[in-house]
Structure 1
Amino acid sequence: MKKRAFLILFFILIIVFSGALFWKKHQENVEKEAFLKEEAPRIEQFLKYNYNNINKLSFTHVKVSPMGIPYIEGFINNDENLFFSATIYYEHFENSISIPEDVSNWRKNEINKTVSEIQQEENKTP
């Protein structure tokens, strides 16, 4: 009798623990999707404003570095060789991005403008 009660309790604990793990994983995915939805337009605005030949961005991963810094990875123009990684150091993405040398050659100006500077400039223009 004790053995049966122990087995039932053991299986209940396994089910509860598994459910908690699945719920935590689901919440992480929801948070990543919300983060990507908020930051993707800023990354796209930065790249299209500062570089030529940017037609489409494909976002592949939202990750957090071991130091706790979030970053978003993806491809430019659906070309896997044009891989980028945008790091978000503060509240929102501003200008910290790693891109291939091919894309760096597409730069429009000598110095890239941050997303905040781009938005201020666009708000001033009627």
Structure 2
Amino acid sequence: MHHKKQEEEAFWAKQKSRIELFYHYNYIGINSFTYTKTHKLPTGTYVIEGYVNDNPQLSFNANADPNTNFEGEGGESAELSEMVKPQYAAQTKSVSQILKEKNKSEPSK
């Protein structure tokens, strides 16, 4: 039982770091994150709700499939969507795309 709880906490922590990477990369002026709720839908999808910059008007809900990780799916308030960087207005980059770019730009060891 305890092991299952640790696995779940590790899953949520990983998703939160992916959410933060997604919003920092695709949006302007993101400084902080507040997470308000985590739950699992009947479909099996995990949802993390929260907001940015200590402003509940800048809210989001991020979806993560149990077999994959958060990639950018979910929803957000109109106020938060106005903060998307102009170059990503038509299409934001997924977390996998961002990580692939970061891996290319970092020198190999």
Tell me the TM-score normalised to structure 1 length: 0.72
- Using CA pairs below 8 Å that are at least 6 residues apart, which structure has the higher relative contact order? 2
Mapped partners of 1:98, 1:78: distance in 2: 18
Quote the residue 1:17 is aligned against. none
Identical positions, percent: 34
Q: Which of 27, 32, 36 lines up with 1:60 in the alignment? A: 36
- Cα deviation, 1:65-85, whole Å, max 9, x if unaligned, reads 122211111111111122210
1:32·1:62 contact (CA, 8 Å) conserved in 2? Answer: no
2:48·2:63 contact (CA, 8 Å) conserved in 1? Answer: yes
SS in 2 for 1:66: coil
Counterpart AA for 2:35: F
Please identify which structure carries the higher helix content: 1
SS in 2 for 1:81: coil
Count of equivalent residues: 102
Quote the residue 1:122 is aligned against. 102
Larger radius of gyration: 1
Matches within 5 A, 1:42-121: 42-89=18-65, 90-108=67-85, 109=88, 110-121=90-101
Unmatched segments (≥5 aa) in structure 1: 1-23
